[in-house]
Amino acid sequence: MPERVYLDWNATTPLRPEARAAIAAAWDISGNPSSVHAEGRRARRLVEEARAAVAASVAARPEGVVFSSGGTEANALALTPGLRRGAGLPVQRLLVSAIEHASVLAGGRFAADAIGTIAVARSGLLDLDDLRTKLEGGPAALVSVMLANNETGAVQPVAKAAEIVHAAGGLLHVDAIQALGKISFDINSMKADLVTLSAHKIGGPKGVGAVVLADGVQGLEPLLRGGGQELGRRAGTENVAGISAFGAAARAAMAALEEDAVRLRGLRDRLENGLLQTPEMIVFSGDVRRLPNTTLFTVPGLKAETAVIGFDLDGIAVSSGSACSSGKVQPSHVLAAMGLSHELAQGAVRLSLGWSTSETDIDLTLKTWRKLANTLLRGGRRNTA
Say which CATH number the domain at 358 has: 3.90.1150.10
Residues 152 and 299 grouped into a single domain: no
| CATH number where 174 lies | 3.40.640.10
Q: Does 218 participate in catalysis according to the annotation?
A: no
Q: Tell me if 381 is assigned to some domain.
A: no
- Evaluate if residue 259 carries a pLDDT over 70: yes
| Per-residue confidence (pLDDT) for residue 376, from 0 to 100 | 81
Residues 192 and 336 grouped into a single domain: no
More confident residue, 208 or 331: 208
Residues 266 and 356 grouped into a single domain: yes
| Per-residue confidence (pLDDT) for residue 1, from 0 to 100 | 55
Residues 343 and 222 grouped into a single domain: no
Residues 67 and 143 grouped into a single domain: yes
Last residue of a domain, one of 229, 251, 273: 251
Give me the catalytic one of 115, 168, 257, 324.
324
Q: Tell me if 368 is assigned to some domain.
A: yes
Q: How confident is the model at residue 326 (pLDDT cuts 50, 70, 90)?
A: very low
Residues 31 and 122 grouped into a single domain: yes
Which tens digit of pLDDT belongs to each residue from 23-71?
999 999 989 999 999 999 999 999 999 999 999 999 999 999 999 999 9
Print the domain residue range for 354: 5-13+257-376
What is the SS3 assignment for the chain? CCCCEECECCCCCCCCHHHHHHHHHHHCCCCCCCCCCHHHHHHHHHHHHHHHHHHHHCCCCHHHEEEECCHHHHHHHHCCCCCEECCCCCCCEEEEECCCCHHHHCCCCCCHHHEEEECECCCCCECHHHHHHHHCCCCCEEEECCCECCCCCEECCHHHHHHHHHHCCCEEEEECCCCCCCCCCCCCCCCCCEEEEEHHHCCCCCCCEEEEECCCEECCCCCCCCCCHHHHCCCCCCCHHHHHHHHHHHHHHHHHHHHHHHHHHHHHHHHHHHHCCCCCCEECCCCCCECCCEEEEECCCCCHHHHHHHHHHCCEECECCCHHHCCCCCCCHHHHHCCCCHHHHCCCEEEECCCCCCHHHHHHHHHHHHHHHHHHCCCCCCCCC
Which tens digit of pLDDT belongs to each residue from 114-152?
999 999 999 999 999 999 999 998 899 999 999 999 999
Residues 297 and 185 grouped into a single domain: no
- Evaluate if residue 380 carries a pLDDT over 90: no
Domain total in the chain: 2
Q: Tell me if 384 is assigned to some domain.
A: no
| Per-residue confidence (pLDDT) for residue 377, from 0 to 100 | 77
Which tens digit of pLDDT belongs to each residue from 77-88?
999 999 999 889
Residues 261 and 237 grouped into a single domain: no
| Per-residue confidence (pLDDT) for residue 329, from 0 to 100 | 47
Which tens digit of pLDDT belongs to each residue from 191-226?
999 999 999 999 999 999 999 999 999 999 999 999
Residues 202 and 283 grouped into a single domain: no
Last residue of a domain, one of 194, 226, 251: 251
Last residue of a domain, one of 251, 272, 294: 251
Residues 290 and 207 grouped into a single domain: no
Which tens digit of pLDDT belongs to each residue from 335-376?
999 999 998 999 999 999 999 999 999 999 999 999 999 988
Q: Tell me if 134 is assigned to some domain.
A: yes
